[in-house]
């Protein structure tokens, strides 16, 4: 089985930075990994994804501020969040899927099979 565990969440001031980590265990090749977030009363939205070839995607809301990368040797996915805004406040989730198609089509949560427990990020 595959297990994903997020860490690094917390509270930061507007304009600050935070780095999230996602440790993967029970590894099987992941062709697509991503970060999603969900704020109270809002739908879960993708904020970053990375394919097996290193290609990344970001929505306009975070483009230029967030960066996703992975350390395959450590089986760890990261999300660097800079210049944070109050709108970034949400629970952030690590997600992964065995299909490369998950990083090719629409960036949506239904494309991902494996999920972490979530970590809270609060920007004020």
Span 34-92, pLDDT tens digits: 999 999 999 999 999 999 999 999 999 999 999 999 998 888 999 999 999 999 999 99
Share of the chain above pLDDT 70, in %: 98
Give which of 62, 15, 11, 14 is closest to 34, Cα–Cα.
62
Residues 6+ apart with CB under 8 A from 41: none
Residues 6+ apart with CB under 8 A from 1: 26
Q: Would you say residue 28 has pLDDT above 70?
A: no
Phi and psi at residue 100, to the nearest 5°? -65, -20
- CA–CA separation, 124 and 28 (whole Å): 38
Give residue 3's pLDDT band: very low, low, confident or very high (50, 70, 90): very high
- Average pLDDT over the chain, rounded to whole? 94
Q: Would you say residue 8 has pLDDT above 80?
A: yes
């Amino acid at each position: 089985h595959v297990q994903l565990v997020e860490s690094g969440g917390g509270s930061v001031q507007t304009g600050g930075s935070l780095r999230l980590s996602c440790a993967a265990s029970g590894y099987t090749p992941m062709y697509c990994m991503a970060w999603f977030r969900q704020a109270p009363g809002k739908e879960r939205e993708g904020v970053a994804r990375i394919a097996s070839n290193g290609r990344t995607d970001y929505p306009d809301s975070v483009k230029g501020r967030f960066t996703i990368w992975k350390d395959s040797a450590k089986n760890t996915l990261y999300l660097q969040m800079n210049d944070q805004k109050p709108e970034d406040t949400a629970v952030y989730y690590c997600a992964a899927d065995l299909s490369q198609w998950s990083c090719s089509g629409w960036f949506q949560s239904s494309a991902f099979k494996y999920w972490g427990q979530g970590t809270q990020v609060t920007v004020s």
